[in-house]
C-alpha cells in the first residue's frame, strides 16, 4: 500500500464520524520504484491531505517532507522528487491501518489493505 492510497482511505465503520487519517502499524516496509511523472504529481497535489501525508511518511521513517507547503513549491524539481518518493514509492507490505476512533485494525497483507467491514460494523 502506497501513501497515496493511505491518503484516500478512511475507516467507514457505521457510526464513526472521523475515520481519517488511519494510523499505520508497520511490520514490513519496502520501496518500490515508480516512474517519475511531474504532471501526475501536480494534478494530485491539490487533492492530497498534506498533514496526513507528512505524518504517514514520518511513521514510515521518511522525514524529508516539509510540515507546511505552498503550491509554489511544485516548481522545484527537488521538492517534486521528495513528494514523488513519499506518495508513490514507500510501500507498506505487511502491517495494518488502524481506525483513529475505534482502534479497529484493517490488516495490510502482501501490500493489499483489507477494508471490508464485519457484519456488525455495516
Partner 1 sequence: MWYLCMFYHRLLDYRKAEVESLAQLFANDEEDQYKTQRLKWRLPLHHHPDSPFHFVDLPSEDVARNVSNRSILVKGMYELWGEGGSYEELEEAIRSYPDERKLPYLEPDSTFKINVDTFGKVISLQEQTQRIHGLSYIPFKGRVNLKSPEHKFWLMETDDYGVNNGLPPIVQRRIFFGREIGGADRKLLPTYQLKSRTYLGPTAMDAEIAFLMANQALVMPGKLVYDPFVGTGSILIAAAHFGAMTMGADIDIRVVRDGRGPDCNVWSNFKQYGLPMPIALLRADNNLPPWRTGLKEIFDAIICDPPYGVRAGGRKSGGRKLMKGVVGPYTVPDDKRTDHIPSTASYSLVECVHDLLDLAGRMLVMGGRLVFFYPVVREDDNVNNSFPEHPCFQLIATSEQILSSRYSRVLLTMVKTSQYTEEIAEEARLKHKDFKENHLKWLEDGNLHSAVFSPSDLPLNGAADAKTSKEPKPKYRGKYV
| Residues at the contact surface with partner 1, assessed by CB under 8 A | 1-2, 4-5, 8-12, 19-21, 32, 34-35, 37, 39-40, 43-44, 47, 49, 88, 105, 109-120, 122
Q: Which is nearer to partner 1, 60 or 88 (CB)?
A: 88
74: closest CA among 84, 64, 60?
Answer: 84
Beta bridge partners of 29: 92
CB of 105 to partner 1, least distance (A): 8
Q: What's the half-sphere exposure (Cβ side, CA atoms, 13 Å) at 62?
A: 24
In angstroms, give the least distance from the CB of 104 to partner 1: 8
Q: How far is the CB of 73 from partner 1 (least distance, A)?
A: 20
* Cβ atoms 102, 13 nearer than 8 A: yes
Least distance in angstroms from the C-beta of 118 to partner 1: 5
Beta bridge partners of 95: 26, 108
- Look up cell 502499524; give the residue: 25
Please say which residue, 21 or 95, places its beta carbon nearer to partner 1. 21
Q: Which is nearer to partner 1, 27 or 63 (CB)?
A: 27
Please give the radius of gyration of the chain, using alpha carbons only, rounded to the nearest integer. Answer: 15
Residue among 8, 6, 5, 30 nearest 91 (CA): 30
Complex with partner 1: residue 76 or 109, whichever CB lies closer: 109
Amino acid at each position: 500500500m502506497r501513501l497515496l492510497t493511505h491518503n484516500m482511505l478512511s475507516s467507514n465503520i457505521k457510526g464513526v464520524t472521523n475515520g481519517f487519517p488511519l494510523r499505520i502499524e508497520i511490520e514490513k516496509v519496502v520501496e518500490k520504484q515508480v516512474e517519475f511523472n511531474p504532471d501526475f504529481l501536480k494534478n494530485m497535489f491539490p487533492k492530497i491531505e498534506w498533514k496526513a501525508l507528512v505524518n504517514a511518511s514520518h511513521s514510515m521513517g521518511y522525514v524529508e517532507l516539509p510540515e507546511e507547503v505552498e503550491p509554489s513549491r511544485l516548481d522545484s524539481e527537488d521538492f517534486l522528487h521528495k513528494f514523488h518518493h513519499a506518495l508513490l514509492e514507500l510501500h507498506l507490505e505487511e502491517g495494518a491501518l488502524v481506525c483513529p476512533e475505534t482502534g479497529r485494525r484493517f490488516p495490510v497483507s502482501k501490500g493489499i489493505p483489507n477494508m471490508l467491514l464485519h457484519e456488525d460494523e455495516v
